[in-house]
Amino acid sequence: MVRFAALKSLYEVEKTIGTGGFAKVKLGTHILTGEKVAIKIMEKECLGDDYPRVRIELEALKSISHHHICKLYQVIETPTHFFMIMEYCSGGELFDHIVEKNKLSESESRMFFRQILSAVAYLHSKGYVHRDLKPENILLDKDLNIKLIDFGLCAKPEGGMETHLQTSCGSPTYAAPELIKGRKYIGSEVDVWSLGVLLFALLCGFLPFDCDTIDSLYKKILSGKYDEPSWLSKESREVIRRMLQVDPSKRIKVEDLLSHSWMTMGCYEPVTFSSLHELQERDEEVIDLMATYYGVSGKAMSQRLGEWRYDYDTATYHLMLARKKQGLPLKIN
């Protein structure tokens, strides 16, 4: 049953897969390809002062495209609603994956953390900071690849990545000392702190700073003191310590994390962050199929897609590409 006229004949809307503050996320099916999508639905009148966050997230997701960041396919705006049609992550939240395994092995943590680091380094290379990095905002696809989500708090500092930000945001548990002090901070440095908290949670199965009152939590974070479990390897302790430095100027930089010995243990290469999507050539086979379906020339279809309007054609192209990558038959029905 389709309750939203704007989605009619484009998507089938199915069950709610989650709610987050001012948004509801529903499972959907892209009718032309039969592929599953996640549809983030926001009612404008309920947004209130969260309205700017929606614009920020939309603009960010439209200008980034990385294999470890949840892909935005289509944006539909009506007088009353925003609809964001995105890549469906059927593996659920990384958080649940850690909980059900109690904690991850060092090598599994390394596999996930390298992917998260790649997504964050890519984001920073595009001039964005996430500012709300936490396990709940890291989803898994069906192959257990990570997908970073929720860019409602991200920022694109005007004067570039070196300018200071001021807004205090994100969840305190993962927030850097300078951020909870309300001081001016460098976005990339607060993301590195959150990455340190994240890696600690992956390896230990619990949080470095976790108290029952906000005040004691703040004091603990500002002290930068946390208990290192005795079974944590020397290398793991060292790399976490480099990220959880209270003084941001002493904190390791993302570019140094990429080639840190903990990342490359097990003869891995340093983490790279170039996007497989951006390196990918336009897929002529998919374009030709779409051109035939719409009865236009391949050139005209390619022209149209090149404008990245985030309309139904953008969604159809990306979903057909996803099917092709899975070796599924390319069909448009």
- The residues of the shown chain that bind ligand 7LV, judged by CB under 6 A, are 17-18, 20-21, 23, 25, 38, 40, 57, 70, 86, 88-89, 92-93, 136, 139, 149-152
What are the two backbone dihedrals, phi and then psi, of residue 173, each rounded to the nearest 5 degrees?
Answer: -55, -30
Q: Kindly state the smallest distance separating residue 115's Cβ from ligand 7LV, in Å.
A: 16
Residue closer to ligand 7LV, measured from CB, 117 or 149: 149
Q: Kindly state the smallest distance separating residue 86's Cβ from ligand 7LV, in Å.
A: 5
Residue closer to ligand 7LV, measured from CB, 14 or 238: 14
Active site residue 132: yes
Residue closer to ligand 7LV, measured from CB, 21 or 182: 21
From 49, 50, 96, 132, the catalytic residue: 132
Q: What is the largest CA-CA distance in the chain?
A: 66
Pairing of strands 185-186, 164-165: antiparallel
Q: Kindly state the smallest distance separating residue 30's Cβ from ligand 7LV, in Å.
A: 13
Position closest to ligand 7LV via CB: 18
SS3 state at 183: coil
Q: Kindly state the smallest distance separating residue 20's Cβ from ligand 7LV, in Å.
A: 3
Consecutive H or E run containing 168: none
Rg (alpha carbons) of the chain, rounded to whole number = 21
Task: Tell me if 323 sits within 8 A of 290, measured CB to CB.
Answer: no
Strand arrangement of the beta sheet that strand 23-30 belongs to: 11-20, 23-30, 35-43, 81-87, 72-77
Consecutive H or E run containing 281: none
Residue closer to ligand 7LV, measured from CB, 152 or 170: 152
Residue positions annotated with a catalytic role:
132
